[in-house]
Amino acid sequence: MSRDADITFTFTREVKVQEFMRVVLDAGWIPDDHGVIRYLVDPDMCDWSTAELDNLAFVVAELERRRVSGSSCAVMLTWGDTAIGGMFMFTADGSLMLTPVINAVTRQGFDNLVDFEWYLQRLLGALAEVGFAGYVITDMP
């Protein structure tokens, strides 16, 4: 069964890709999606690009160019060595959406619901450093 599950974060100010990446990487997130950095800057938001792990600065610059142009862009991040993570999308309205699509953590006893608290515990402290204002969670069949 397919679900629409995501967390949309809002901020009190504009958040640059470089700032976001700095705080989440410091918190323990890594841009390793099966040995590559997977990111989305395609205007149609369909064709994902990949880069070697040592090309993070290039990827961040590409994402920031896309964000500054007023378009959405995304990068896949995982938590440490867990292989758990998701798509972090910078949206045109300045919010950030996390869609947990890499080995999503589910709620104990409810395998069809995402355990959003797992993700929030690993993100809120970092996001507070870049003007975190609030979030909205969606988990719908």
The reported pLDDT for the residue numbered 31 is: 98
> Which residue did the predictor score with more confidence, 99 or 45?
99
Q: What are the boundaries of each domain within the chain?
A: 4-140
Confidence of residue 75 (pLDDT cuts 50, 70, 90): very high
- Whether residue 102 contacts residue 76, with contact meaning beta carbons closer than 8 Å, is answered with yes
> Which residue did the predictor score with more confidence, 18 or 43?
18
- Whether residue 6 contacts residue 138, with contact meaning beta carbons closer than 8 Å, is answered with yes
The reported pLDDT for the residue numbered 82 is: 96
pTM of the model: 0.95
Confidence of residue 1 (pLDDT cuts 50, 70, 90): very low
19-68 per-position pLDDT tens digit: 999 999 999 999 999 999 999 998 888 999 999 999 999 999 999 999 99
